Structure 1
Amino acid sequence: MSKNICAYFENRYSLEERSAVKSVVIDLNANYQLFIKRLFPHAKIIIDRFHVVQLINRAFDQLRVKILKQQGDKHSRIYKALKINWRLFHKDTEKINRSKTQYFRGLNE
């Protein structure tokens, strides 16, 4: 795949045009970084925001599951809070309604 991408840019744009590129936005695929430096020598590589947020969310979920496994007691309050209300941890803080009383299922409060 990288051969096709390299060939596309090398055949379609001159080195002078590619050198004028200031930034390139990519996902977290390490293979892209290898040939982007060659194709666009003066460009800064920027990782797109979506993939950074996705990586943070995955890491957060892995940590949450690790803590769940360490709890041992599946009837404990901490275990139930982390297990049942996992969506709440991913919610934007600005979208949380702090004035509204909410019943937490499984915690009985």
Structure 2
Amino acid sequence: NHSITNQVRLRVNQLVRESLPVKTIAKLVGISSTSVQRIIYAHRHALIERRKLPRIICFDEFRSVHSMFSFICIDAITHNLLAILSDRLTKNITAYFLSHYSLSERSQVQKIVMDLNAQYQYFIHRIFPNAQVVIDRFHIIQLAGRALDQARISLLHGIEDHRCRNYKMLKSEWR
């Protein structure tokens, strides 16, 4: 059962990321479609395996198949994956945590680190009653940069002489 080389397995995993059908992958690589499915789902148990909830959890979304957004949840300390959900709908995220973890497990979560997505703030305290919401530093810095840029542009619009030194500094040499 181990006659398929590692190079073939790697190629199958590369083709899977391109969202090709199983039969097409099987024809391209030269193995059966059953073998392709076996390779794809070989490590699936690692994603489904139920783990204990850590004290600090990170929530985010990412662009996945067909430009849809998916939900990802990781341990903030070890960066281990806790869950990947196919969409970021509130009802699905809530159902996942309520069905997989007891209230006592969810109560032990102390902090949820997330971006400025207001959707998560509505249900976090319902799922994790003792959790404190923390905004991640990347989004705080991004927000501060946007505020500074808006202030620079408003000053720029107030200067009538486009040839003065202040205008040129705010226009092109602001970095």
Per the normalisation by structure 2, the TM-score is: 0.48
Can you list the C-alpha shifts for 1:55-76, whole angstroms capped at 9, x where unaligned? 0000000010000001121111
Counterpart check, 1:34 vs 2:122: yes
1-structure distance, mates of 2:99, 2:117: 23
Deviation of 1:35 after TM superposition, in Å, equals: 0.3
1:1-109 to 2 correspondences below 5 Å: 1-87=89-175
Count of equivalent residues: 87
Can you list the C-alpha shifts for 1:88-109, whole angstroms capped at 9, x where unaligned? xxxxxxxxxxxxxxxxxxxxxx
Tell me which residue corresponds to 1:104: none
Unaligned runs of 5+ in 2: 1-88
Unaligned runs of 5+ in 1: 88-109
2-structure distance, mates of 1:4, 1:72: 54
1-structure distance, mates of 2:141, 2:116: 11
Q: Alignment identity in percent?
A: 54
Q: SS of the residue aligned with 2:156?
A: helix
Q: SS of the residue aligned with 1:75?
A: coil
1-structure distance, mates of 2:126, 2:162: 53
Deviation of 1:81 after TM superposition, in Å, equals: 0.6
Question: Which structure has more strand as a fraction of its residues?
Answer: 2
2-structure distance, mates of 1:50, 1:86: 21
2-structure distance, mates of 1:6, 1:72: 54
2-structure distance, mates of 1:29, 1:69: 31
Task: Point out which structure has higher relative CO (alpha carbons under 8 A, 6+ apart).
Answer: 1
Aligned Cα root-mean-square deviation (Å): 0.8
Per the normalisation by structure 1, the TM-score is: 0.77
2-structure distance, mates of 1:75, 1:36: 53
